[in-house]
Chain A
Amino acid sequence: MAEVQLNGISKAFGKTQAVKDITMTIGDGDFVVLLGPTGAGKTTTLRLISGLEKLDSGSVFIGGRDVVHDTPAQRDVAMVFQQYSLYPHLTVRDNLAFPLRSPILKTPEDEITRKVQEIAEILQIPHKLDNKATALSGGEMQRVSIGRALVRNPSIYLMDEPLSSLDAKLRADLRVELKRIQADLGSTLLYVTHDQIEAMTMATHIGVLEEGQLVQYGTPKEVYENPVSVYVASRLGQPRINILPSNLFPGTHKGPQIGLRPENIQQGDGIEARVLRSEHLGDQTRLHLEVQGHPVTTLTDPHQDVGSDATIKISPQNPLYFDASGARVV
């Protein structure tokens, strides 16, 4: 395990600037999640660290060593791809053993057998070890490809949306499992996702990417409570933060726009809001409101039944303030 440092890394594909001047340090034993929508440069960042893409400029240090001129094999990284990564002509066992048999590791066969068995049990696939990789379900394939990274003990694990193709239950199980494994081994892990629940629950640090740039880097709590911009604030929180003109409410004049998460909206008194629709999700009820032509989404007590076209009163509580461009003011 090692610390990984990115110094001003950039990468363009043709005219598209995929990654722009990213500088960040992934501490030894950290679980860092890169968060951002499709096209924000998350995957490219992983590929630049792994050596699958060549840097345009900047440098990458793994364990204090400049690896810019190293091949992927020499960088000692393990990577889980979003898809397509199992060797289809090999069995599950051989897939898991593949990195251990590489000319760099040359692990003795008895140790390979032990490690493969161990990982298979963690990922609940020991009964599938002798299956062809192509004879697995999507969820099993993805577990094997996570396993193929976990059998190694590399400087850093790079994971590119490893859970996105799994069903909800398995995703929740593996999320907990992955976090536990990472904490047990003290591994350094860089994890790409656009799923904010994965980001909030697993990360020790979150990096938010916007069009190839790192716009905020901090603990999940920091990023959630102190977002630097509307963009970052919209990445975390379910339902999404409501961005409204601040003159809608009396007494909120520290900036032209205010951001209200459901917990910042107090119901009971204040200005009038019309209920457009309510969604019962079981453990919570979402209210879709309209406040003077602006849509607002918030949560309410699941036992309270609010009919359509009812009117409730809301007022902001500790809102976030943003300027006209979306940058945070207070």
Chain B
Amino acid sequence: MSSFSVNEPSNRTKWFAGSLVILYAIITMIPLVWIALTGFKSPADAISYPPKYIIGSDSEAGFQPTLEGYVNLFTTRTRQTQEFLDANPPENWADEIVRKYDMVIVGPSKFGERFLNSVIIGFGSTFLSVFLGTLAAYAFSRFKIPLADDLLFFILSTRMMPPIAVAIPIFLMFRNLGLSDTHLGMILLYTAVNISLAVWLLKSFIDGIPTEYEEAALIDGYTRFQAFYKVVLPQAATGIASTAIFCLIFAWNEYAFAVLLTTANAQTAPPFIPTIIGIGGLDWPAIAAGVTLFLLPVMIFTILLRKHLLRGITFGAVRK
């Protein structure tokens, strides 16, 4: 039963390794779970001490879940006099929630719009980075390009400065070009930042695909582009998926450029969420609700591509 094996860890090792992984997972999950819970608390429960963390329990540590945070996140409200509140019964369930605080909903907040901006800019720049990156990486991998190594280094060097160092020139350039506070401007900017990552990552993936496949396709009667499309792309799928996730994570979370270059029109969620703090005191449930929703797209995207991502990371590491 406990025979020695070179490639199979012993039960004790497996148990130990498993416990470590679980422990690490718990530690990393705690803040996320805390944020998700806070989104469903009332403002009082959110800041109570000792903290409350059991949903729906009457005990000391329990709290009644409420959608207050989400309602506050998506709406703007004003305080009203008692006469007004008596004269106008609540219009819907959301309105009813805010009545507790003598308020009425007067319209939607900017959150939906900002969230949509994040989706457009995040996914748009990810698509563009991966699309251009794949073509460039293929060219670098397969063709004899003069000064290829220098060009690759040059591409990488765009990542060597912190964003803040180039923020002012970019701000001035964007103003002159009319790109300030536009979706196109932000997509182009994030693409420019991400493309170096995309080219480098994808090049190592494409390098790992033997040229024999394309040569076989060329001889089988296909053109170079068809060989790329039919033979190289399907095999680079893992690399493309993991590159896309990295690009999306960057574009989705980016804060510094967004705060400098966007205001009324193309502002993304990261600079917007902190502004909730200013509206009527520290509304922690609303902030937590915003953060929870903000985390979802990247999470879903990563789960959808997770098989590729895991294979991608090891594949890239081993082959290059």
Interface assignment of A212: CB less than 8 Å from any CB of chain B: no
Nearest A residue to B212 via CB reads A84
Q: Do residues A77 and B226 form an inter-chain contact, with CB atoms below 8 A? A: no
B9 on the interface (CB 8 Å rule)? no
* B221 in contact (CB, < 8 A): yes
Does B235 contact A72, Cβ atoms closer than 8 Å? Answer: no
Nearest CB in chain A to that of B234: its residue: A89
A52 touches B221 (CB 8 A): no
Q: Which of A63-80 contact B (CB under 8 A)?
A: 71-73, 77-79
B residues in contact with A72, CB < 8 Å: 215, 218-219
- Which chain A residue lies CB-closest to B216? A85
Does A99 reach chain B (CB closer than 8 Å)? yes
Residues of B within 8 A of A71 (CB): 218, 223
Point out which of A73, A77, A98, A148 has the most chain B C-beta atoms below 10 A from its C-beta. Answer: A73
Is A52 in contact with B219, judged by CB distance below 8 angstroms? Answer: yes
Can you name the residue of chain B whose Cβ is closest to the Cβ of A90?
A: B234
Partner of B213, one of A78, A84, A99, A104: A84
Interface members, chain A 21-65 (any B CB < 8 Å): 50-52
| A103/B213 in contact, CB under 8 A | no
B217 in contact (CB, < 8 A): yes
Which residues 206-240 in B have Cβ within 8 Å of A in the complex? 210, 212-213, 215-223, 226, 231, 234-235
Q: How far is the CA of A12 from the CA of B199 in the complex (A)?
A: 31
Q: Which of B218, B219, B231 contacts A87 (CB 8 A)?
A: B231
Report whether A50 and B219 are in contact in the complex, using a CB–CB cutoff of 8 Å.
yes
* B210 proximity list for chain A (CB < 8 A): 84
The verdict on A103 contacting B216 (CB below 8 Å), with A88-B235, A89-B234, A89-B235 known, is no
Residues of A contacting B221 with CB < 8 Å? 73, 99, 102-105
What's the dominant secondary structure at chain A's contact region? loop
Q: Chain B interface residue count: which class?
A: 10 to 19
A231 within 8 A of B: no
Q: Which residue of A lies closest to B224 (CB)?
A: A71
A52 pairs with B223, CB closer than 8 A: no
Closest chain-A Cβ to B119's Cβ sits at a distance in Å of 31
Is the pair B222, A103 in contact by a Cβ cutoff of 8 Å? yes
Chain B residues within 8 Å of A103, by CB: 221-223, 226
- State the Cβ distance, B130 to closest chain A Cβ, in Å: 19
Q: Which residues of A contact B222 (CB under 8 A)?
A: 73, 102-103
Question: Which listed residue (A52, A88, A105) contacts B215, Cβ 8 A?
Answer: A52
Q: How large is the interface on A (under 10, 10 to 19, 20 to 34, 35 or more residues)?
A: 20 to 34
> Known: A81-B212, A85-B216. Contact between A73 and B223, CB under 8 A?
yes
Bound complex: CA A296 to CA B231 (Å): 53
**A99, B212: Cβ atoms closer than 8 Å:** no
> For the complex, what is the distance from the CA of A132 to the CA of B220, rounded to whole Å?
19
- Residues from chain A with a CB closer than 8 A to the CB of B234 are 89
Q: Point out the residues of chain A lying under 8 angstroms from B215, CB to CB.
A: 52, 72, 79, 81
For A201, what are the chain B residues with a Cβ–Cβ distance below 8 Å? none
Central interface residue in A72, A78, A83, A89, by most chain B CB within 10 Å: A72
From B213, which residue of chain A is reached at the shortest CB distance?
A87
Roughly how many angstroms separate A72 CA and B211 CA in the complex, as a whole number? 15
| Residues of the B chain whose Cβ atoms lie less than 8 Å from the Cβ of A79 | 215-216, 219
Q: A88-B235, A89-B235 are in contact. Are A83 and B212 (CB under 8 A)?
A: yes
In the complex, what distance in Å separates the CA atom of A28 from the CA atom of B216? Answer: 24
C-alpha spacing A103/B217, complex, angstroms: 11
A140 to B172 CA separation, bound complex (whole angstroms): 63
A71 to B231, CA, bound (A): 18
B interface footprint on A194-221 (CB within 8 Å = 1, 0 otherwise): 0000000000000000000000000000
**CA of A72 to CA of B217 in the docked complex: distance in angstroms?**
9
User: Which residue of the partner chain B has the closest CB to A105?
Assistant: B221
CA distance A88 to B218 in the complex (A): 16
Which B-chain residue is minimally distant from A85 (CB atoms)? B216
Cα–Cα distance between A32 and B217 once the two chains are bound (Å): 24
Residues of A with C-beta under 8 A to B216: 79, 81, 85, 87, 148
| Distance A98 CA – B231 CA, assembled complex (angstroms) | 10
* B218 and A73 within 8 A (CB): yes
Given A88-B235, A103-B223, A148-B216, 8 more pairs with CB closer than 8 A: A71-B223, A72-B215, A73-B218, A73-B221, A81-B212, A85-B213, A102-B222, A103-B221
Chain A positions near chain B (C-beta within 8 angstroms): 50-52, 71-73, 77-79, 81, 83-85, 87-89, 98-99, 102-105, 148
> What are 10 A-B residue pairs whose CB atoms fall within 8 Å in the complex?
A52-B215, A72-B219, A73-B221, A79-B216, A81-B215, A83-B212, A89-B234, A103-B221, A103-B226, A105-B221
Q: Which residues of B contact A (CB under 8 A)?
A: 210, 212-213, 215-223, 226, 231, 234-235
* Shortest Cβ-Cβ A-B pairs, 3 listed: A102-B221, A99-B220, A104-B221
